[in-house]
Amino acid sequence: MPGGRSSFTHAVVIGCTALYVALVFLPGASRMELVGLLGLKPRWLWSHGMYHTLLSYQFLHSSIQHLAGNMFTLFYLGRALEPELGSLRFSAIYLGSGALAGLTHALLHPSSNTVLIGASGSIFGAIALLILLMPFKFTSVFIIPLPGVVAGLGLLALEALTIVASAQPGVAHDVHLYGFIAGALGAFALDFDKAFKGLVIAVMVALALYLWVFHLSPGMV
């Protein structure tokens, strides 16, 4: 129920961390076998019917940096969203965003043998929820408390900069986009009017930030 605790968020953070630690201590061959079983490989999804990987891939991470970045972001997003939306609705949209993101990627790359892992698609779904449904809810995802719309747009800006700078080769940025779209659809399904108002607010804030950064800041050309 809304107003509850962040039990789902904490469970995902603990589960992802425990799974990563377990993988670290597994022998190399066993580790690769488990990643192959739980990771999302588009070709195997269709040829072997491994539909469970649409969920399981969200709990695997490739490095400590990958895990830490995703879990830190999820922790603060979830603590803002889950108590307000309720664990059932938040978990459904979070996991659904990741699953739909993975499914879209697999549909567009059906013959790919590259294994997809990570919670980023799900997290971008949560970012969409924050921006559209709770634009003025403060969160500390950037250490200092910021309104949800500012924090969410900041995370999107970081994603855009990463893509432009090609700073993270091997990252499936398209999955992030699909997850965000899925989360946005979830927000509109939960409360269309509120999500539409959140969209208008986000556009206005994004425009104001753009004008401030590129046209009004001292020293900017």
pLDDT in tens, 98-114: 999 999 999 999 999 99
Number of Cβ within 10 Å of residue 137's Cβ equals 16
Question: Is residue 56, in this structure, part of any structural domain at all?
Answer: yes
Question: Is residue 221, in this structure, part of any structural domain at all?
Answer: no
Question: Is residue 108, in this structure, part of any structural domain at all?
Answer: yes
**Angle at which helices 87-108 and 120-133 pack, to 10 degrees?**
130
pLDDT at position 1: 44
Question: Is residue 21, in this structure, part of any structural domain at all?
Answer: yes
pLDDT in tens, 118-154: 999 999 999 999 999 999 999 999 989 999 999 999 9
At position 16, the amino acid (one-letter code) is C
CATH number of the domain within which 158 lies? 1.20.1540.10
Compute the mean pLDDT over every residue in the chain, rounded to the nearest whole number. Answer: 92
Question: Is residue 158, in this structure, part of any structural domain at all?
Answer: yes
> What's the mean pLDDT in 22-27?
92
Domain count, the chain: 1
Compare 219 and 190 and report the one with higher pLDDT. Answer: 190
pLDDT at position 162: 86
Question: Is residue 188, in this structure, part of any structural domain at all?
Answer: yes
> What's the mean pLDDT in 196-213?
93
pLDDT at position 171: 80
pLDDT at 84 over 70: yes
Give percent of the chain above pLDDT 90: 82
Question: Is residue 1, in this structure, part of any structural domain at all?
Answer: no
Flag the least confident range among 84-88, 120-124, 139-143, 192-196. Answer: 139-143
Expressed as residue numbers, the domain containing 83 is: 7-216
pLDDT at position 221: 46
Flag the least confident range among 62-71, 154-163, 205-214. Answer: 205-214
pLDDT at position 4: 56
Give percent of the chain above pLDDT 70: 94
CA dist 153 and 210 (Å) reads 11
> What's the mean pLDDT in 169-192?
93
> What's the mean pLDDT in 65-94?
96
pLDDT at position 211: 87
Instruction: Confirm if 151 and 134 have CB atoms less than 8 A apart.
Output: no
Question: Is residue 95, in this structure, part of any structural domain at all?
Answer: yes
Flag the least confident range among 34-43, 52-61, 209-218. Answer: 209-218
pLDDT at position 130: 98
Q: Give phi and psi for 135, each to the nearest 5.
A: -65, -25
